Chains A and B, each alone.
Chain A
Amino acid sequence: AQSVTQLDSQVPVFEEAPVELRCNYSSSVSVYLFWYVQYPNQGLQLLLKYLSGSTLVKGINGFEAEFNKSQTSFHLRKPSVHISDTAEYFCALDTGRRALTFGSGTRLQVQP
Chain B
Amino acid sequence: DTEVTQTPKHLVMGMTNKKSLKCEQHMGHRAMYWYKQKAKKPPELMFVYSYEKLSINESVPSRFSPECPNSSLLNLHLHALQPEDSALYLCASSQESGGVQPQHFGDGTRLSIL
Contact = CB atoms under 8 A, between A and B. Distances in A.
Contacts, number: 55
Nearest to B9: A41
Interface residues of A, number: 22
B43 A44 contact: yes
Given A32-B100, A43-B90, A104-B41, A97 B105 contact: no
Interface string A30-49: 00101010000111111001
B56 A98 contact: yes
B102 interface: yes
Chain A contact surface mostly: loop
A43 B42 contact: no
B81 interface: no
Contact of A42 (B45, B104, B107): B107
Interface of A: 32, 34, 36, 41-46, 49, 51, 90, 94, 96-100, 102-105
